[in-house]
Amino acid sequence: MRKKRFLIRILLYCLMLMFLIVIGCDIIPEDIRDEFCHDDDYSISGRVTLSGVGLSNVAVHLTGGDTQTAITDQRGDYKFSNLDNGEEYTLSPSSGTNTFNPSSIDVRIHGSSIKGVNFATVPCCISITVNRVYVSNYNDNSVSVIDSTTNNIIATIGLTHKAGASAFLPELNRLYVTSMETDEITVIDTLTNAVITTINLPGRTGSIVADSTTNKIYVAEHGNNSLLPLGTQVWVINGSSYALIDTITVGTNIQNLAIDIMNRRIFLTDFHSSAANPGLIFPINISTNVALTGISCGILPSGTAVHSTTHRAYATNSGDDSVTVIDTIDNSVVKAIIVGDNPQAIAVDETIDRGIVTNYNDNNVTLINTSKNKTVDSPVNVGTHPAWVSIDSVRHLAYVVNFDSNSVSVINIQTGVVIDTITVGDSPFRVTVVE
């Protein structure tokens, strides 16, 4: 009889577990719920939209039972994980150029994760720069401004130095242009196309990226075999006050930077010791400004790009004509993709999983399917010595600057067709797209 009762109790216990799996734990009294319902990974998630379309790179802040910040991805989605049951939380998005409806939402976790905590974006009264392409004309000491809705040049901005790399901060309507040969950065008001000021740093200014959630810019010290010393520093600058906040020492011969705002990382290519040895790509934690262990890639890594939602980083290896694909979660090498001769730059359109690589010596570009890590169709011919590329992910267009043709090739990334060629200044070197 006792054995029969024991078996019946076991059966009832199993039935209770099955019942909880089917209906969830929300309706179970708290004194019983704690015994049967255990979930160590409660989450709160939602989306930020503008006119019904997901808005990326918005900071959503969580306070209350825990303090976290999440950055919305390309679809406008965000998620907070590892939250505790029974705790109350407040969620509030922030952006310098927008307000939100509602401005904040209070929630409490009751035995299950919470989805659909959504915010609608209300554009603020501040003007925002959109639909612009900025081309750095290296030997002209100028920047060509292109209206990306017409592909017409609408302004040319003169500089007091060589026109190097550039980065844009939308909240401030500021474009920052480095020189590659001096310690200068020119700051441009993108609403008026007027030069605001010049920033001087401790060394030659090279590659540059911007963090739109903190209004900071990150500037790599530039050096090459004819410009000693080689670059070993990244300077962190307040984009509003232009103050030098921090200096990150990393690598032995820095080349270029790419920023993953959502996952709080910068990826930096470094030639390393010599052309006879593999180069490195260094992750930098931009929450702490600490450089992490370098990841071995190909020979003479040059350009770099990231795919935030799939956790991938890419490095073009100019010395062995390949692209190294890196898993940014465990910092392991996934694959090497063979491309054209002397690949310099890479850009990624995350919305359609396409990458584009400029093959400097082949005068063409290679398209890559980033979900399969393989090239797409035949290379697309452009101008002479394509040096850099930037992407308009709204229109799915790539803007390729051709250093020795003084032109920009506009490519439809989905079809692989050059749809326009724009004449710009002398030796276009870098390009930045503002969508």
> What pLDDT is stored for residue 272 in this prediction?
75
20 part of a folded domain: no
Q: Which of 84, 105, 126 is the last residue of a domain?
A: 126
Question: What mean pLDDT is predicted for residues 89-95?
Answer: 91
Which pLDDT value is given to residue 127? 74
Is the domain of 318 the same as that of 367?
yes
Query: Considering its fold, how many domains does the chain have in total?
Result: 2
What's the pLDDT score for residue 273?
60
CA distances from 216 to 97, 162, 219 (A): 16, 23, 10
Same domain as 168, residue 55: no
Q: Tell me what pLDDT residue 271 has.
A: 87
Alpha-carbon separation of residue 373 from 323, 359, 420 (angstroms)? 10, 17, 28
Identify the CA nearest to 273 among candidates 319, 322, 242.
319
- For residue 98, tell me if it sits in a domain: yes
Residue 357: C-alpha distances to residues 71, 198, 320, 346 (Å): 27, 32, 14, 4
Answer whether residue 31 shows pLDDT above 50: no
- The answer on 428 and 293 residing in a single domain is yes
Query: Which pLDDT tens digit goes with each residue over 105-143?
Result: 999 999 999 999 999 988 765 678 899 999 999 999 999
Residue 34 has pLDDT above 50, yes or no: no
For residue 9, tell me if it sits in a domain: no
Same domain, 313 and 178: yes
Same domain as 163, residue 100 = no
Q: What pLDDT is attached to residue 26? A: 47
**Whether residue 171 is found in the same domain as residue 270:** yes
Confidence category of residue 171, pLDDT binned at 50, 70, 90: confident
pTM beyond 0.85, yes or no: no
3-state secondary structure of 35: helix
Arithmetic mean of pLDDT, 167-182: 95
- Tokens representing 47 are 């989306």
The CATH number assigned to the domain holding 396 equals 2.130.10.10
How does pLDDT run across 199-233, given as a tens digit for each residue? Answer: 999 999 999 999 998 999 999 999 766 666 689 99
User: Is a pLDDT exceeding 70 seen at residue 14?
Assistant: no
Mean pLDDT of 340-345: 98
Percent of the chain at pLDDT > 90 equals 78
Q: What does DSSP assign to residue 131?
A: S
Domain containing 207: what range?
132-434
| Average pLDDT score over residue span 163-187 | 96
Where among 83, 99, 126 does a domain terminate? 126
> Across 17-21, 35-39, 324-328, which has the greatest mean pLDDT?
324-328
**Tens of pLDDT, residues 368-417:** 999 999 999 999 999 999 999 999 999 999 999 999 999 999 999 999 99
Least confident range from 184-188, 268-272, 328-332: namely: 268-272
Q: Is residue 83 part of a domain?
A: yes
Q: How far is CA 168 from CA 98, 188, 302, in A?
A: 17, 9, 21
pLDDT (0 to 100) of residue 230 = 82
Task: Give yes or no for residue 12 having a pLDDT over 70.
Answer: no
In the listed set 126, 159, 175, which residue is the last one of a domain according to the structure? 126
Region of 116 on the Ramachandran plot (φ > 0 left; ψ -120 to 50 alpha; else beta):
left
Count other Cβ atoms within 10 Å, centred on residue 313. 28
Q: Is the pLDDT of residue 10 over 70?
A: no
What CATH number did the domain enclosing 116 receive? 2.60.40.10
Query: What pLDDT band is residue 35 in, cutting at 50, 70 and 90?
Result: very low
> Do 48 and 163 fall within a single domain?
no
Q: Does 75 share its domain with 218?
A: no
> Looking at residue 1, what is its pLDDT?
54
Mean of the per-residue pLDDT values for the chain? 90
